[in-house]
Amino acid sequence: MLARVPWALLVLIAAFFVPAAGSRFYTFVANDVVIWALFATSLNLLVGYTGLVSFGHAAYFGIGAYTTGILMKKAGLSFLIAFPAAGIVAGVCALVFGFFCVRLTRIYFAMLTLAFAQIVWAICFKWNEVTGGEQGMPEIPYPSFDGVDRVVSALPALGSYRTSDYYYFTCLVLVALCLWALRRIVASPFGRMLTTIRENAERAEFIGVNVRRYELAAFVIAGVFAGLAGGLFGIFNRGVFPDFAYWTKSSEVLIMTLLGGMGTFYGPAIGALALIWLNQQIVSYTQYWPLILGSILVILLFVFPGGLAGAVIALWRRLVRSPVGA
């Protein structure tokens, strides 16, 4: 019965009330969660569904962020152009890098994705004229919400909002659309084939599947959505910095994905929510967040290898089954 409830839709609707119900701070946290949820879900397509462990997924996040940042700040283009451009540029880079990566297996795949990500980072770090180098690119403008604002002010029942609230709504809608698209991809025959490859690439090859081509397609799709997440994050963060593409970012998003639960569709989004919320709670008590994150990770690896989603599902099954068994 509970499975019939459209949970995703309910969460989306609830999320729309965050600026009205909560403070400015909660809107900020919610916006952070929404963007990271997309980033982590895009990685899950690779790690969870296709079985490709990428250690350089931050590269596409960084590329998307820089694309949107440069187009909006330096070229003065509209968000409507700069946002899709983030996905396209990241996708093209993922196509080029992925072409070489999918030729390798396991640890070598991880190493090559890492190498490419570090190349992207080195370019962002040193190419001062375009990327702002080590200092990054501060003051990325918000998209213009003048038109929306006029409509909203005309309807007093809707309440009044800040620019950052409008941006949160924009992110919410765009991320919801992206997640819907990803969900469709995962459930499609193409998505099923990715899972087949994860389970047994050799057998998939035997039944005539071009495994590399499927893996490359998954790599590009993951890159596109990571790029879109990066594009949103650059504006949200009010600046783009080289460490967006640094390897520690790649492991952060991997941890999120693992914490939520790989292979379950909404697991990574839950992981993003849990980690960011926890971070906000803990930072007010101690500056040693990495220590706590590391400890959580160790507990997770030893006690709940299925992540939060895996733990909840296991608990749920036990609850449902026990009255029948007794």
Taking alpha carbons only, the member of 203, 233, 197 closest to residue 218 is 197
Taking alpha carbons only, the member of 14, 10, 22, 13 closest to residue 165 is 22
Contact (CB, 8 A) for 48 and 270 = no
Q: Nearest approach, Cβ of 245 to another protein (angstroms)?
A: 12
Stretch that binds another protein, among 80-88, 108-116, 184-192, 216-224 (CB under 8 A): 108-116
- What gap in Å lies between CA 182 and CA 87, rounded to an integer? 14
Q: Nearest approach, Cβ of 290 to another protein (angstroms)?
A: 4
Taking alpha carbons only, the member of 257, 179, 230 closest to residue 15 is 179
Nearer to another protein, 293 or 311 (CB): 293
Q: Does 251 bind another protein (CB under 8 A)?
A: yes
| Intra-chain end-to-end CA distance of the chain, in Å | 21
CA atoms within 13 A on the CB side of 65: 31
Site for another protein in 8-67 (CB under 8 A): 47, 53, 55
Which of 28, 100, 277, 304: binder of another protein (CB under 8 A)?
100
Nearer to another protein, 134 or 210 (CB): 134
Q: Does 283 bind another protein (CB under 8 A)?
A: no
Nearer to another protein, 12 or 53 (CB): 53
Nearer to another protein, 38 or 259 (CB): 259
Query: Torsion angle of alpha carbons 238, 240, 243, 249, nearest 10°?
Result: 70
Q: Does 295 bind another protein (CB under 8 A)?
A: yes
Q: Nearest approach, Cβ of 108 to another protein (angstroms)?
A: 4
Strand positions, DSSP E, 103-145: 137-138
Q: Nearest approach, Cβ of 129 to another protein (angstroms)?
A: 10
Nearer to another protein, 115 or 311 (CB): 115
- What gap in Å lies between CA 12 and CA 159, rounded to an integer? 19
Q: Does 244 bind another protein (CB under 8 A)?
A: no
Contact (CB, 8 A) for 260 and 274 = yes
Nearer to another protein, 17 or 302 (CB): 302
Stretch that binds another protein, among 8-16, 180-188, 248-256, 315-323 (CB under 8 A): 248-256
Taking alpha carbons only, the member of 67, 6, 24 closest to residue 231 is 67
Q: Does 275 bind another protein (CB under 8 A)?
A: no
Stretch that binds another protein, among 31-39, 105-113, 172-180, 218-226 (CB under 8 A): 105-113
Q: Nearest approach, Cβ of 276 to another protein (angstroms)?
A: 16
Query: Torsion angle of alpha carbons 288, 244, 250, 42, nearest 10°?
Result: 120
Nearer to another protein, 69 or 306 (CB): 306
Site for another protein in 160-219 (CB under 8 A): none
Taking alpha carbons only, the member of 99, 60, 27, 40 closest to residue 260 is 40
Contact (CB, 8 A) for 82 and 94 = no
Contacting residues toward another protein, per CB under 8 A: 47, 53, 55, 100, 103-104, 106-108, 110-112, 114-116, 118-119, 122-123, 125-127, 247-248, 251, 254-255, 258, 288, 290-291, 293-295, 297-298, 301-302, 305
